[in-house]
Amino acid sequence: PELTQALLYLDGVSVSFDGFRALNNLSLVIGPGEMRAIIGPNGAGKTTMMDIVTGKTRPDEGDVLFDGRVDLTRLDEASIAELGIGRKFQKPTVFESQTVEDNLLLALKGPRSAAASLFGWRNRVKASELDGVLETVGLAEHRARLAADLSHGQKQWLEIGMLLAQDPKLLLVDEPVAGMTDAETEETARLLTRIAGNHAVVVVEHDMAFVRALGCKVTCLHEGTVLAEGPIDAVSANERVIEVYLGR
Ligand code: ADP
């Protein structure tokens, strides 16, 4: 794969757990501001790939480079997060007893300040930053509501907003539309499309209608490596993709 122009560059990445090869010579290149959907059957290695990028798991072999030539395999999770890699896990994790606005303020101040008092922060955080994130994630009208009172979809958008508040170069998003209504799913595709361009977004998802709505390049993983990659129409017409994944 091409290293020049890559924001995230994985080449020949392999990792085994107790002799089971979860990733097997995986190569993946994500450009700055690119949106990419990752699909594939359970056990294909999607989660392991994200664990490698965020420093949770160390590869046995291969290169994992970010933003030029920063070797992610040598960094711990906190340092990788500070480089500008955000990760959204499947279930929403927001501060339920805080308002939408205060959740975002906590994120704007940085996770390490989360234990500190909320009071006085509004003055120090640029109001425009907060308004920008609220607008992007479609929660401007709900800024004063308690997070606990939001719908499941709105909580997911709030958490995406909390990650955006830290201005990541790369956002890894794991099955964002699981449990969402159709309307929420459509809104999530629009939201992520708005974000991409300013931030690279890698979305792992099983919902093929949603993947189609993202309108981006698709990578199908199988047995720890790339089975097919390209536009959704080509990937979903690929015989092997149908055999191992879509035809289930
Ligand atoms: P996916 O996210 O595509 O469903 P995973 O990356 O979760 O796939 O898993 C790939 C394979 O590696 C699975 O068979 C899983 O059981 C195994 N695996 C993942 N992480 C670990 C781990 N920490 N220890 C042992 N096995 C693991």
Q: How far apart are CA 69 and CA 28, in angstroms?
A: 15
Looking at residue 124, its pLDDT comes to 57
Q: Kindly give the distance from the C-alpha atom of residue 46 to the centroid of ligand 1, in angstroms, as a whole number.
A: 8
Looking at residue 3, its pLDDT comes to 72
- Whether the CB of 43 sits within 6 Å of ligand 1: yes
Looking at residue 94, its pLDDT comes to 95
Per-residue tens of pLDDT for the chain, all 248 residues: 677 789 999 999 999 999 999 999 999 999 999 999 999 999 999 999 999 999 999 999 999 999 988 999 999 999 999 999 999 998 889 999 999 999 999 888 754 444 444 555 544 567 788 999 999 999 999 999 999 999 999 999 999 999 999 999 999 999 999 999 999 999 999 999 999 999 999 999 999 999 999 999 999 999 999 999 999 999 999 999 999 999 86
Which of 47, 172, 222 gets mutated to test ligand 1 (max ligand atoms within 8 A of its CB)?
47
Which pTM value belongs to this model?
0.92
Which of 14, 16, 20 gets mutated to test ligand 1 (max ligand atoms within 8 A of its CB)?
20
Q: Kindly give the distance from the C-alpha atom of residue 30 to the centroid of ligand 1, in angstroms, as a whole number.
A: 22
Task: Report which protein residue has its CA nearest ligand 1's atom 21.
Answer: 17
Looking at residue 83, its pLDDT comes to 95
Looking up tokens 């099983």 gives 206
Q: Kindly give the distance from the C-alpha atom of residue 183 to the centroid of ligand 1, in angstroms, as a whole number.
A: 31
Walk me through the domains of the chain, giving residue ranges and CATH numbers: 8-246 (3.40.50.300)
Question: Does ipTM exceed 0.90?
Answer: yes
Looking at residue 68, its pLDDT comes to 84
Which of 14, 48, 60 gets mutated to test ligand 1 (max ligand atoms within 8 A of its CB)?
48
